[in-house]
Structure 1
Amino acid sequence: MTGHDVPVDLVLMVSDHDSLDGIADQAQLAEEHGFERVSAGETTGWDMVSTFAVVGERTDSIGISNDVLSPFGRAPTVLAQTALTMHEATGGRFRLGLGTSSPAIAERWHGAEFDRPLRRLRETIDIVREVYEGGRVEYDGDIFELGGLSYERDVPETPPPIDVAALGPKAVELTGRFADGWVPQLFTPDGLGDRMEDLHRGAGLGDRDPEGLRVAPLVRCFASEDRDRARETTRSMVAFLMGAYGPFYGKSVAQQGYEDVVEEVRAAWEERDTDAMAAALPDELLDDLAACGTPEEVHEQIERFGAVDGVDAVRVGFVRGMSQDDKEATMRAVTGH
């Protein structure tokens, strides 16, 4: 039992590790600290399916997720096969994370045109569900047209849930209507509450109970007795995500009432002035988007996100530049031990 009220997941910073053993060790540590789930994003480094097969084999009880697999990078049927295989490999601990990804990853890495991303995501979820049903897969959509084959293994009674990483109102509505969980990032508590209305509207359109959706916002965290270092390191990363990391995070923060801040951060990025990017992010917004400072402050900020109506867990993400000691101090702060 942890010393907090809200369950916490942990997002591993894969780029900080030079071996799969290191990632597995960090996941084992998360399990020891009482985190509910562990996940990591996939961009152009290690394949997260193989990586988390290793993590699943090296851990006993912690949930396994991925943040996120792109429907531009894998066929929907392959995603379903992956989820069902991971379900077996992890003893039923796997949740499949999907998202539209970004134009840069889709086009410059997967070689696919970033066309109708929400429609592609919707059809991907449909096809995964068809495979989950275990019979012949027949699908005639706008993006995908396939059929004539069946999944050749038995399907578990409860197949892996599908989580979607989404930001905008239409994407979040789609999540509520078709997925099993929502993983938002870079939302303020107020912005999260507002967007929850879109999630619930989608659940209503799909005749689904919103209480059955697992909502786990990803919050960047850095707890340290060196308060200034924790805050400035976090400020730099959050500003980079807003201004340089694709178009969607900045747009989302702007829609939450911070258009002027995002404009200033992006203008600094145009000059590749990362110091100016960080300086443009005020304390008020930093504290609304992240949890950084002393261990006590971080614990309180995590509880604040967890108190938003509809949130089931907080997904703790590390900050670029943290040492292993920093990470362990942060893990202790958010779990209470």
Structure 2
Amino acid sequence: MKLGYHIGYWSSGPPEGALEAIVEAERLGFESVWTAEGYGSDALTPLAWWGAATSRVTLGTNIVQMSARTPTATAMAAMTLDHLSGGRFVLGLGASGPQVVEGWYGQPYPKPLARTREYVDIVRKVVAREAPVTHDGQQYQLPLRGGTGLGKPLKSTVHPLRPHIPIYLAAEGPKNVALSAEICDGWLPLFFSPKTDDFYRAALEEGFARRAARPETFEVAASVPVIVHDDVEQAADLIKPSLALYIGGMGAKTVNFHHDVFARMGYADVADKVQDLYLAGRKKEATAAIPTRLVEDTALVGPPEKIRDELARWEESVVTTMLVRGDTATLRRVADVLS
């Protein structure tokens, strides 16, 4: 299984030691480096800035939020980064959720699957640069309908380094996972668990069946927390606050895709309790309500021997790349245990 380094998005500012960790990840043989965005730092600028210090690793976004940019603006950024990196860029896209899309970007959220399909189609057309780009969809129109009438189809002035830049889709629900297999080159799962491997295999197969031809390669790059520690409980405690945030607070009470992932995993009662506590402002209690077994289902925690034993079930799953986080010392420990 390949290893990637996921920097994620920033909290209150740039993560300390990020550049050193990226350089070390490449030295250790990691295959890829990834950035993210929410409603603070963007994904593209750090990837370009820090990625300039690398020469081999794939540079990917996990994820660029579609509502933050028009499809053509995203395609422009993708072609630019692909040139600057010498063909090492992977465009990871995601629809995010209604709280961020409507609350931060001021864009409508309905019909995310249809919007994703149109978005990817336009990006593909721009990058291929075979003709002036036109698109007459429900979500996007090029040229725009009902405008001045002066819009005209355009072709990028920049010639792509590669006419096909890989696009991965962040997805959690079965329909969106199937869509990634149908129209993209990879899937970016969050909170994947080997125990739900059959569920996701079926969703991917549904998407592959809708393609004219099954892709020769399809990457599944999963974000997997790895904490090497002699005490399993202490290791799990380092992950539980983040899980509480996503299960409880990253979404509305009625629409939280992360909550739904754990419900499908068999933790519906736990997810409901965590959400109720978190939304009531009782964050410490929400964190304490997460059982260690839930952490162990979605992460690798504990002594090296335990992690190596549990790695086998991940290697048997659809996951092709494991994306880990942490500082330079953490990456060294992880590489030593997983390599």
Q: TM-score, normalised by structure 2?
A: 0.89
SS at match of 1:64: strand
Please name the residue that 1:160 is paired with.
165
CA deviations 1:109-150 (Å, max 9, x no partner) are 212122222211111000011112202101011100004111
Q: 1:19 Cα deviation (Å)?
A: 4.5
Q: Which amino acid aligns with 1:205?
A: R
Kindly state the Cα deviation for residue 18 of structure 1 after the two structures are TM-superposed. Answer: 5.0
Would you say 1:253 and 2:262 are equivalent positions? Answer: yes
Contact 1:20 1:54 survives alignment (8 Å) = no
1:91 maps to a residue whose letter is G
Residue 166 of structure 1 contacts residue 182 of structure 1 at CA under 8 Å; is this kept in 2?
yes
> In the TM superposition, what whole-angstrom CA distance separates every residue of 1:140-173 from its partner, at most 9, and x where no partner exists?
1110000411111222345320000001111111
Q: How far 1:257 sits from its partner (Å)?
A: 2.2
For 1:98, what is the secondary structure of its paired residue? strand
Q: Give 2:180's match in structure 1, choosing from 175, 179, 185.
A: 175
Q: Which residues of 2 match residues 1-337 of structure 1 at below 5 A? A: 6-15=1-10, 19=14, 22-134=17-129, 135-147=131-143, 148-246=153-251, 247-308=256-317, 310-318=318-326, 324=327, 327-328=330-331, 330-336=333-339
**Which residue number corresponds to residue 147 of structure 2?**
none
Q: Which amino acid aligns with 2:335?
A: R
Shift of 1:330: 4.3
* Residue 231 to residue 326, structure 1, CA distance change in 2 (3 Å): farther
Structure 2 residue runs of 5 or longer lacking an equivalent are: 144-152
Q: For the Cα contact (< 8 Å) 2:226–2:334, is it kept in 1?
A: no
- Aligned partners of 1:169 and 1:198 also within 8 Å: yes
1: CA distance between counterparts of 2:288 and 2:26?
Answer: 36
Letter matched to residue 48 of structure 1? A
Amino-acid identity (%): 29
- Contact 1:296-1:333 within 8 A present in 2 as well: no
**Mean CA deviation greater in 29-38 or 325-334:** 325-334
Instruction: Tell me the SS of whatever aligns to 2:225.
Output: strand
Per-residue deviation, residues 243-289 of structure 1 (Å, max 9, x unmatched): 22221101121122221111121122133222322332223222111
Unaligned segments of structure 1, at least 5 residues = 1-5, 319-323
Paired with 2:262 and 2:215, the residues of 1 have a C-alpha distance of 24
Question: Given that residues 8 and 334 in structure 1 are in contact (C-alpha distance below 8 angstroms), is that contact kept between their aligned partners in structure 2?
Answer: no
Secondary structure of the 1:292 match is strand
Secondary structure in structure 1 of the residue aligned to 2:133: strand
Q: Cα gap change, 1:160/1:151 in structure 2, threshold over 3 Å: closer, same or farther? A: same
Alpha-carbon separation, structure 2, partners of 1:334 and 1:104: 39
Give the AA of the match of 2:310: Q
Q: More deviation in 199-208 or 177-186?
A: 199-208
Aligned to 1:321: none
Cα 1:93–1:162, aligned 2, differ >3 Å: closer, same or farther? Answer: same
Tell me, yes or no, if the aligned pair for 2:37 and 2:64 is still in contact at 8 Å: yes
Change over 3 Å in CA distance of 1:294–1:240 after alignment to 2: farther
Aligned AA for 2:321? Answer: A
Look up the SS of the partner of 2:266 in the other structure.
helix
Cα distance in structure 1, aligned partners of 2:195 and 2:61? 26
C-alpha deviation, 1:203, in angstroms: 1.3
Q: State the distance in 1 between where 2:66 and 2:94 align.
A: 7
**Mapped partners of 2:127, 2:218: distance in 1:** 18
State the distance in 2 between where 1:16 and 1:144 align: 32
Question: How large is the Cα RMSD of the aligned pairs?
Answer: 2.2
Give, in whole Å, the separation in 2 of the partners of 1:76 and 1:262.
35
Distance 1:99 1:35 in 2: 24
Give the drift of 1:199.
1.2
Moved more, 275-284 or 198-207: 275-284
When structure 1 is superposed on structure 2, of 113-122 and 125-134 the one drifting more is: 113-122
**Contact residue 131 and residue 137 of structure 1 kept, 8 A:** yes
Measured after TM superposition, the shift of residue 313 of structure 1 is: 1.4
Partner Cα separation in structure 1 for residue 194 and residue 201 of structure 2: 10
Q: Is the 8 A contact 1:223 1:333 kept in 2?
A: no
Alignment: residue pair count? 325
* 1:30 Cα deviation from its structure 2 partner: 0.9
Matches of 1:206 and 1:267, distance apart in 2: 41
